[in-house]
Structure 1
Amino acid sequence: MKRIIFLVIRLLYRIPGWLLTIHRYNKHKEDVSFETRFDFTQRLIRKVNEKSRVNIHCFGKENLPEEQGYLMAPNHQGLFDALILFGTHDQPFKFIVKKELMHVFVLKNVLHMVDALAIDRENIRASVKVIRQASKDMAAGTSYVIFPEGTRCRQQNKMLEFKGGTFKSVMNAKKPIVPVALIDCYKVFDNNSIEKVDAQIHYLTPIYYDEYKDMSSTEVASMVQSRIEKCINENENEF
């Protein structure tokens, strides 16, 4: 909480302009390209990161497929996860988020602006519709981020079990899966401090369709999680 208050104070002079732009883009979405809206969001978040007293250590960007239209699957540690992704992934991407986030003050407007897809885990029919839309987008060249745990894990660098259903969209599209390991990102907002902290993001070697085509979604989830877990175990004490 202290870091959030600290950021609000440091960026107070920018916040009104940002909120006005978000409102304008949402009001006239049909006239503003997704790329323009994403670029604005990315610049905003990178400014937030710059002022947050967080040392971001990014590894493996060379692993990202040259062709867009892949799924990034990170472990989920907290609020900073999305910020570190925007801060390090240069190409536009979209999020699949749980529907509850579409009702959070201010955040809902940002998610709407960047065309996030909201999934209702209690509504199978609606979930299938979201999966189909994401598959269609990925096949057409739009990359996505989804957190396979479904919710954040509150045990530091530990993980909850990855859900197989979160990989159905990319499997249907036959596109690459990029495991993403987030390390110490929980420290940014969970430690109730404004002391400098280090946070890591590792883009791991992509898993291409030929590697997972004969696997079930549960098996894919287990494989992705094991690769992320291995990376965390090897790197969590580096900084």
Structure 2
Amino acid sequence: MKVQKEKVKVVLRFIYVILGNLHRAWMIPKMGYYARHVEKYSEEFRYEYDRYAIRLMNHTGRIKTKAYGMEHLPKEGGYVMFANHQGKYDALGIMLSHDKPCSIVMDDARSHFPLVKQFIDLVQGKRLKLNDLRQSASIIREVSKEVKQGRKFIIFPSGGYEHRNGNYVDPFKPGSFKSAMRAKAPIVPVALIDSWKV
């Protein structure tokens, strides 16, 4: 019964956030425009626009994100943040808390929904086709190369979030850490708590 009430709350909040932001729908084509013109708009500008959109959604949904331990992040160079995956807000919460531009590796099938596509495109996220081993290996090589060049990435080593897992960590997929290991880059663990409630 308690789980059912929690699910209803989550759905109602989601609907509330969508309806409360309908007047900002003009931002979606603008995000797409910025993403298509990376030569014109810097990575920092596009990342800040992403964060601006996240802040607006958080304000409407009364969502508060708290981050601790940011002082322990590497000061220079690229690195990969590995986080437990609880729901749709996970990457947004990390990006909101992370001041320097970072990108994400995401399941291709889920990355083409409206608004998700624009968020991913703005940060030049990588789309991973889970059933295509060649494409997956190619993405791992791309991420490794970009991390060596100083970029930062978010990876969810457990893959998807088929069920609401609460604050438990699901098993990691084999090969999740290959991109960081190949780049000989720092691995930054990220623990998300109660993100599944958003």
Same topology, TM > 0.5: yes
Q: Which residue type is aligned with residue 23 of structure 2?
A: Y
Residue of structure 1 in register with 2:4 after alignment: none
Residue of structure 1 in register with 2:195 after alignment: 185
The question of whether the paired residues in 1 share the 8 Å contact of 2:28 and 2:118 is answered with: no
Q: Which TM-score applies when normalising by structure 2?
A: 0.88
Residue of structure 2 in register with 1:144 after alignment: 153
Residue of structure 1 in register with 2:77 after alignment: 68
Any gaps of 5 or more consecutive residues in structure 2? 1-10
Cα displacement (A) at 1:2: 1.2
CA distance in 2, matches of 1:27, 1:135: 23
- Give the number of the structure whose alpha-carbon radius of gyration is greater: 1
Residue of structure 2 in register with 1:166 after alignment: 176
Cα displacement (A) at 1:86: 1.7
Residue of structure 1 in register with 2:38 after alignment: 29
Q: How do residues 1-239 of structure 1 correspond to structure 2 at under 5 angstroms? A: 1-16=11-26, 18-152=27-161, 153-188=163-198
CA distance in 1, matches of 2:119, 2:66: 25
Question: SS of the residue aligned with 2:143?
Answer: helix
Sort the Cα spacing of 1:173 and 1:36 in 2 relative to 1 into closer, same or farther, 3 A.
Answer: same
The question of whether the paired residues in 2 share the 8 Å contact of 1:49 and 1:87 is answered with: no
User: Number of paired residues?
Assistant: 187
Any gaps of 5 or more consecutive residues in structure 1? 189-239
**1:187-226 CA-partner distances (Å, limit 9, x unpaired):** 11xxxxxxxxxxxxxxxxxxxxxxxxxxxxxxxxxxxxxx
CA distance in 1, matches of 2:116, 2:71: 30
The question of whether the paired residues in 1 share the 8 Å contact of 2:90 and 2:195 is answered with: yes
Identity over the aligned pairs, expressed in percent? 36
Q: Which residue type is aligned with residue 133 of structure 2?
A: I
Cα displacement (A) at 1:184: 0.8
CA distance in 1, matches of 2:64, 2:135: 39
CA distance in 1, matches of 2:97, 2:169: 22
Cα displacement (A) at 1:159: 2.0
Q: CA RMSD in A?
A: 1.5
The question of whether the paired residues in 2 share the 8 Å contact of 1:49 and 1:83 is answered with: no
CA distance in 1, matches of 2:35, 2:68: 34
Q: Which TM-score applies when normalising by structure 1?
A: 0.73
The question of whether the paired residues in 1 share the 8 Å contact of 2:77 and 2:150 is answered with: yes
Higher strand share: 1
Moved more, 49-58 or 138-147: 49-58
The question of whether the paired residues in 2 share the 8 Å contact of 1:131 and 1:169 is answered with: yes
Question: SS of the residue aligned with 1:79?
Answer: coil
Sort the Cα spacing of 1:44 and 1:62 in 2 relative to 1 into closer, same or farther, 3 A.
Answer: same
